[in-house]
A and B are shown apart, each in its own frame.
Chain A
Amino acid sequence: MHRVVWSFLVLVLAGISSAVAQDRPLVFRGARLIPITAPPIENGVLVVQGGKIVAVGEEGRVRIPGDAVVHDVAGKVIMPGLVDTHSHIGGGDGGDRSAPIHGDVRILDAIDARNDRIQQAQAGGITTVNVMPGSGHLMSGQTAYLKLRDGRTIYDLLICDDVLTEICGGMKMANGTNPRGQSPFPGTRAKAAALVRAKFIQAQEYREKIRQANGDPSKLPPRKLELEALVEVLAGKRLINLHTHRHDDILTALRLQKEFGFRIVLQHVSEAWKVADEIAAAGAPASIILLDSPGGKLETIDIRSTNGAALEKAGVLVGFHTDDGITDSRLFLRSAGLAVREGMSRDAALYALTMAGARMLDLEDRIGSLDVGKDADFIVLSGDPLSVYTRVEQTWVEGEKVFDLNDPRDRAYAVGGFGVVRVISANHHEGMEGH
């Protein structure tokens, strides 16, 4: 009896306190704010409420609500949460070896929300991530756009609300050598392109049948999961993310894009510096990776860290990715540092970490900058984001703190240590093959 009453009281109190925490505005005072869409603000004020940004500005110009919980962050730097446009965290997988094209396969069906790599990505300041199946297929499956909330299940992380009616990610494709293999996989590049073209022509025909049915269920073609997803691609609602390295493969990707009119994000784009103007002319965004050396794989022997600079100069929208496990999510800020070292502008590099990624996920209205009305996804840094000495001290997603360097458990995720990473997915190698 007493126990029941106590439990009830605890529940009520917990409910009140969490409601208060959510409803009371949070104010971050004294930091240098890097809004991305506006010039940096020294001694800034960021106000967050209900998971959204409600005010951003200079100290003295922003009204601080009377009931606010104030965080003194003097000397720190706050910027939007980082957007990783290509990662393999969460232990998910995509299509199997039965076929080279798996437009029907969803990685969201295989992501483990409790995988420790997700916590590590939070430690790296990543708040939104495009989790992809690997690159061993022409089309390995549907990607998943995730918010790195503290979640128990995939539903806590997904950005979409309904996996049956909404588009919850992009579509992963690859060209070059990774998808090659024994039949039914293509043996040459030209064969690969032909297989992809045939599939998209099928999708066009399927779309036409749906159009002709004109809403009459009796005239609709039988459901084909793969073609349904590709109709979304043809409609420009689901973005193609195409893994590509060599300049001729990049051009092939652009050729397919032009033929079928889908929207594409080029991934890796190792030889982008050779065809930056062509990429710009196609209006295709490019998500690049920064590595310590070229080589290791024939397709990447000509990768250059100057890709960021070359693409920026050509007018291409440039984003970054970890391709985690190829690079470590905890070191994602390093991408910007290395890109600037190799000639990219500071502004473009910071944009690439945030807004560019948001745009590559069709989420620019919700994330990517410190703007009023956007999700309260931001990171508190110990210093300038381009300095090697800077550490991510806090990561916030929708007004909730998901990482705090002062918390021993979180700190362990940030630096590593014995038993910190408990879950090694059976598919963790996919990120390796997937590059």
Chain B
Amino acid sequence: MHSSTAVFGKSRLGSGLIGAALAAALVVPSPLAAQLAVRGETVYTMAGPPIQDGVVLIGRDGKIEQVGEASRVRIPSGYRTLEAKVVTPGLVDAHSVVGLAGYLNQPHEQDQLERTNAIQPELRAFDAYNAGEFLVEWIRDYGVTTVHTGHGPGALMSGQTMVVKTRGSNVGEALVDSVTMVAMTLGPEVSANYGGRPGTRSKGVALIRAELIKAQEYARRRGERGQDGPRDLKLETLARVLAGEIPALITAQRATEILAALRLQKEFGFRLVLDGAAESYLVIDEIREAGVPVILHPTMARQSGTLENATFETARLLREAGITVALQSGFEGYVPKTRVVLFEAAMAAAYGLPFEDALRTVTIDAARVIGVADRVGSLERGKDGDVVLFDGDPFEYTTYVCGVIIEGQVVSERCR
């Protein structure tokens, strides 16, 4: 972990009344969680050096009970043992739109972007999440157990994001964190999506500033009046951003857009996570000094448009500079409808990011950036029993994911 970079260590599961109510109403304990022992020739815990011939014990509550060398861990009787060549934590996709943007790519199931207004931070991700979406299962079968999803890029403020597990038949069963970030975008695609309003980058920044200033005033007014007065869902959400309760996830590909995001962060003091960041390698010092983590575009994202200057090496360059980097499947408007972070991390590794660093971008560092590292991202006692079993080097094309476990429940056992 790089101390120079701020990350969000605490889950906000149930933060706020809405989240708590939703969690209470819908979260169901894993009924099928068994007591499991997962034994791997190599176990990448992401909480220390890899363990050769290691074992992960998962209890009936779906939590990890013990992790260690097989010779030192006694597998209690009654535990089902699974074996694999390589064992990793469940993969964490640091930014996606699965569950909101359906794989048919038809209007009736594209809920990641509402186009009547370029500023709608009040839109809640969990009001639109389809747990039964095919692409959720698709990424899960490649080892993704946790995904930060919700409103997509393309609006000045498109709405909220959330963190789910890739399981469950409804959002309540899947939910880890109900309001994770507010998604914002700086760049020309906003103009394209909203009829040329804003028509320029500068105008977009001006509109965001004006809205944040309104939110400052709203918060002050509400504070002075002791929380009475008319509620405004939009400003209420932004007041939480300004209070540091919810980070802003700002999609910014060009160096100019990244600097604008950092400028906004400095002016308003919110917590910032940079998203996309194709040209981040051009402004590494500025990002590092701001202490901001980066959820980098998929390594294989199409290098055109605002990503025309992207490189396959950016994850490595950021990591070498001490910046926390997570990888994402991102948003795809066409084919393929989603990417798979396992393959994106593999490509980052192929282009020079050391193996374990590449694994970090889709496990512990991704979990930290999205604020759920107390539950997922590494194999440690007390964390969720989310585990992936591989039959070889996880990044190789010809290695299969042969088992996916979420909170002690084996959700996939066929090799693929």
Interface residues of A (CB under 8 A from B): 291-298, 300-301, 325-326, 328, 331, 334, 337-338, 340-341, 386-391, 415-421, 424, 428, 432, 435
Interface residues of B (CB under 8 A from A): 102-106, 134-135, 138-139, 279, 282, 300, 302-304, 308-313, 332-340, 343, 346-347, 349-351, 395-398, 400
Q: Can you name 16 extra interface pairs (CB under 8 A) apart from A337-B398, A387-B397, A421-B309? A: A293-B135, A293-B336, A294-B138, A295-B135, A295-B338, A296-B333, A296-B336, A297-B105, A300-B335, A301-B103, A326-B335, A334-B397, A388-B350, A389-B396, A417-B311, A421-B303
Could you tell me the distance between the alpha carbons of A399 and B207 in the complex, rounded to whole angstroms? 58
10 CB < 8 A contacts A-B: A292-B300, A293-B138, A295-B337, A295-B338, A296-B332, A298-B104, A340-B397, A388-B346, A388-B397, A389-B350
The smallest beta-carbon distance between A334 and chain B, in angstroms, is: 7
In the bound complex, residues from chain A placing their C-beta under 8 Å from that of B332 are: 296
Contact across chains for A293 and B337 when beta carbons are under 8 A apart: yes
Could you tell me the distance between the alpha carbons of A102 and B335 in the complex, rounded to whole angstroms? 26
Question: Which residue of B104, B139, B311 contacts A301 across the interface (Cβ within 8 Å)?
Answer: B104
Q: Which residue of A lies closest to B347 (CB)?
A: A388
In the bound complex, residues from chain B placing their C-beta under 8 Å from that of A419 are: 309
Given A300-B335, A325-B302, A338-B397, A293 and B103 contact (CB-CB distance below 8 Å): yes
In the bound complex, residues from chain A placing their C-beta under 8 Å from that of B396 are: 337, 387-389
Contact across chains for B104 and A292 when beta carbons are under 8 A apart: no
In the bound complex, residues from chain B placing their C-beta under 8 Å from that of A337 are: 396-398
Question: Which residue of A294, A389, A420, A435 contacts B103 across the interface (Cβ within 8 Å)?
Answer: A294
In the bound complex, residues from chain B placing their C-beta under 8 Å from that of A388 are: 346-347, 349-350, 395-397
Main secondary structure of the interface of A (DSSP, over half): loop
Of B104, B138, B312, B336, the most chain A CB neighbours within 10 A belong to B336
Contact across chains for A416 and B303 when beta carbons are under 8 A apart: yes
Q: Which residue of A lies closest to B255 (CB)?
A: A418
Main secondary structure of the interface of B (DSSP, over half): loop
Given A293-B340, A296-B337, A301-B103, A421 and B308 contact (CB-CB distance below 8 Å): yes
The smallest beta-carbon distance between B264 and chain A, in angstroms, is: 24
In the bound complex, residues from chain A placing their C-beta under 8 Å from that of B313 are: 415-416
Interchain residue pairs A-B with the least CB separation, the first 5: A295-B103, A337-B397, A296-B335, A295-B337, A416-B311
In the bound complex, residues from chain A placing their C-beta under 8 Å from that of B397 are: 334, 337-338, 340-341, 386-388
Contact across chains for B334 and A424 when beta carbons are under 8 A apart: no
Of B134, B308, B310, B397, the most chain A CB neighbours within 10 A belong to B397
In the bound complex, residues from chain A placing their C-beta under 8 Å from that of B300 are: 292, 328, 331
Given A416-B312, A417-B311, A340 and B338 contact (CB-CB distance below 8 Å): no
Given A292-B343, A328-B302, A424-B304, A418 and B279 contact (CB-CB distance below 8 Å): yes
In the bound complex, residues from chain A placing their C-beta under 8 Å from that of B279 are: 418
Could you tell me the distance between the alpha carbons of A334 and B395 in the complex, rounded to whole angstroms? 12
The smallest beta-carbon distance between A224 and chain B, in angstroms, is: 37
In the bound complex, residues from chain A placing their C-beta under 8 Å from that of B350 are: 388-391
Contact across chains for B309 and A416 when beta carbons are under 8 A apart: yes
Contact across chains for A296 and B304 when beta carbons are under 8 A apart: no
Given A325-B304, A328-B303, A294 and B334 contact (CB-CB distance below 8 Å): no
Could you tell me the distance between the alpha carbons of A298 and B335 in the complex, rounded to whole angstroms? 10
